Amino acid sequence: MFVEVALPPPIAVPVAERPALVRRVLRAAPPYLYLAPALTLLVIWTYRPLVQTVQLSFFSWNLLPTQPMVPAGLANYERLLELPELGQAMLRTLAVIGGLLPFTVGIPVAAALLTRRIRGRARVVYRALVFAPMLVAPVASAAVWRWLLDPSAGAVNRVLGTTNNWLHETGSANLGIIGITGWHLLGFAVLVVTAGLAGINSDYSDAAQLDGATRGQVTRWITLPLLSPTLVFLTLMTVLLSAQWTFPLIDALTQGGPAEATTNVYYLLWDYSFHSYDAGLGAAAGIMLFLVFGLIAAGLVWLSERLTFHDD
Amino acid sequence: MRKTPVALALAVVLATSACGLGSTASQEAATVTRVPELRPDQQVSIVFESYNFGQAGAWTDTFNELIGKFQQAHPNIHVTAQKPQGNSPNPATDTVPSIQAQMAAGSPPDVAQLGFSDLDFTIHGLGAKPLDDLVGKDAVQANFDGAKYPYAPTARTLGDWDGKTYGVPFVFSTPVLYYNASLFTQAGLDPANPPKTWDDVQQASQAIKARTGKDGAYLDCLTKSAKDWCFQALVRSNGGHVVSTDRKSLDFADAPAVEVVKMAQNMVNTGSTPKLTQQQGYEAFARGDIGMLLETSAIQAQFIKGAKDKWDLRATTMPTFGGKPAVATNSGASLFVFSQDPAKQRAAWELIRFLTSEDAYTTIASKIGYLPLRTGLLGDPNGLQPWAAKNPLITPNVQQLAHMEPWVSFPGNSYLQIRDGMMDAVEKAVYQGADPQTALTSARDAATSLMPAGR
Of A51, A68, A152, the CB nearest to B26: A68
Give residue-wise pLDDT tens across range A3-45.
Answer: 777 777 766 655 555 668 888 888 888 889 999 999 999 999 9
Give residue-wise pLDDT tens across range A163-215.
Answer: 888 888 888 888 999 999 999 888 889 889 988 888 888 888 888 888 888 88
Contact B431 A258 (CB under 8 A): yes
Provide, as residue numbers in chain A, all residues whose Cβ is less than 8 Å from the Cβ of B340: none
Of B100, B414, B427, the CB nearest to A63: B100
Counting one residue from A and one from B, how many pairs have CB atoms under 8 Å apart?
A: 119
Is A149's Cβ below 8 Å from some Cβ in B? Answer: no
Answer for the pair B360, B366: CB distance below 8 angstroms, yes or no: no
Average pLDDT value for residue range A68-96: 87
Neighbours of B358 (CB within 10 A): 18
Instruction: Look at residue A222 and tell me whether its pLDDT is greater than 90.
Output: no
Domain ranges in chain B are: 44-172+331-401, 176-329+411-448
Chain A residue with Cα closest to B428: A259
Neighbours of B8 (CB within 10 A): 10
* A34 burial via Cβ count (<10 Å: 0-12, 13-18, 19+): exposed
pLDDT at residue B175, rounded to an integer: 95
Contact A278 B414 (CB under 8 A): yes
Give residue-wise pLDDT tens across range B295-347.
Answer: 998 888 889 999 999 999 999 999 999 989 999 999 989 999 999 899 999 99
Give residue-wise pLDDT tens across range B299-310.
Answer: 888 899 999 999
Please give the mean pLDDT across all residues of chain B: 89
pLDDT at residue A311, rounded to an integer: 64
* Residues 6 or more apart whose Cβ sits within 8 Å of residue B238: B256, B257, B259, B260, B321, B324
Give residue-wise pLDDT tens across range B249-264.
Answer: 999 999 999 999 999 9
**pLDDT greater at residue B271 or residue A65:** B271
Chain B residue with Cα closest to A280: B21
pLDDT at residue A1, rounded to an integer: 56
Provide, as residue numbers in chain B, all residues whose Cβ is less than 8 Å from the Cβ of A59: 21, 24
Q: What percent of chain B has pLDDT over 90?
A: 66
Give the pLDDT band (50/70/90) at residue A124.
confident
Closest CA to A112 of A132, A127, A93, A92: A127
Question: What CATH code is carried by the domain that includes residue A110?
Answer: 1.10.3720.10
Provide, as residue numbers in chain A, all residues whose Cβ is less than 8 Å from the Cβ of B127: 66
ipTM of the complex: 0.74
Provide, as residue numbers in chain A, all residues whose Cβ is less than 8 Å from the Cβ of B432: 170, 258-259
Instruction: Look at residue A115 and tell me whether its pLDDT is greater than 70.
Output: yes
Give the pLDDT band (50/70/90) at residue B132.
very high
pLDDT at residue B438, rounded to an integer: 95
What distance lies between CA A129 and its chain's CA centroid?
A: 25
Give residue-wise pLDDT tens across range A231-250.
Answer: 888 998 898 888 888 998 89
Give residue-wise pLDDT tens across range B169-214.
Answer: 998 899 999 999 999 999 999 999 999 999 999 999 999 999 999 9
Rounded to whole angstroms, the Cα distance separating B116 from B138 reads: 23
Give residue-wise pLDDT tens across range A259-277.
Answer: 788 888 889 888 888 888 8
Residue by residue, DSSP assigns B297-336 as: GGGHHHHHHHHTTTS-EEEEPPPBSTTSPP--B--SEEEE
Answer for the pair B91, B51: CB distance below 8 angstroms, yes or no: yes
Is A220's Cβ below 8 Å from some Cβ in B? Answer: no
Instruction: Look at residue B29 and tell me whether its pLDDT is greater than 60.
Output: no
Contact B125 A64 (CB under 8 A): yes
Contact B22 A69 (CB under 8 A): yes
Contact A69 B432 (CB under 8 A): no
Closest CA to A227 of A118, A310, A304: A310
pLDDT at residue B153, rounded to an integer: 92
Give the pLDDT band (50/70/90) at residue B166.
very high
For residue B50, the distance in angstroms to the closest alpha carbon of chain A comes to 18
Work out how many domains chain A is built from and give that number: 1
Contact A66 B127 (CB under 8 A): yes
For residue A68, the distance in angstroms to the closest alpha carbon of chain B comes to 5
Domains B44-172+331-401 and B176-329+411-448 alike in fold = yes
CB contact residues (below 8 A), chain A span 29-48, against chain B: 32, 39, 43-44, 47-48
Q: At B370, is the secondary structure helix, strand, or coil?
A: coil
**pLDDT greater at residue B50 or residue A3:** B50
Task: Assess if residue A282 is contained within a domain.
Answer: no
CATH class of B176-329+411-448: alpha beta
For residue B22, the distance in angstroms to the closest alpha carbon of chain A comes to 6
pTM of the model: 0.82
Provide, as residue numbers in chain B, all residues whose Cβ is less than 8 Å from the Cβ of A257: 223-225, 277, 427
For residue A253, the distance in angstroms to the closest alpha carbon of chain B comes to 9
Average pLDDT value for residue range B2-19: 50
For residue A117, the distance in angstroms to the closest alpha carbon of chain B comes to 45
Neighbours of A44 (CB within 10 A): 12
Provide, as residue numbers in chain A, all residues whose Cβ is less than 8 Å from the Cβ of B13: 43, 48
Average pLDDT value for residue range A117-125: 82
Rounded to whole angstroms, the Cα distance separating B78 from B74 reads: 8
Residue length of chain B: 455
Instruction: Look at residue B244 and tell me whether its pLDDT is greater than 70.
Output: yes
Contact A168 B88 (CB under 8 A): no
DSSP type of residue B455: -
pLDDT at residue B9, rounded to an integer: 52
pLDDT at residue A17, rounded to an integer: 56
* φ, ψ at B81 (rounded to 5°): -95, 140
Contact B17 A43 (CB under 8 A): yes
Please give the mean pLDDT across all residues of chain A: 85
Domain containing A208: what range?
97-264
CATH class of B44-172+331-401: alpha beta
Contact B100 A52 (CB under 8 A): no
Rounded to whole angstroms, the Cα distance separating A182 from A103 reads: 5
Is A169's Cβ below 8 Å from some Cβ in B? Answer: yes
pLDDT at residue B30, rounded to an integer: 59
Q: End-to-end CA distance of chain A, in Å?
A: 90
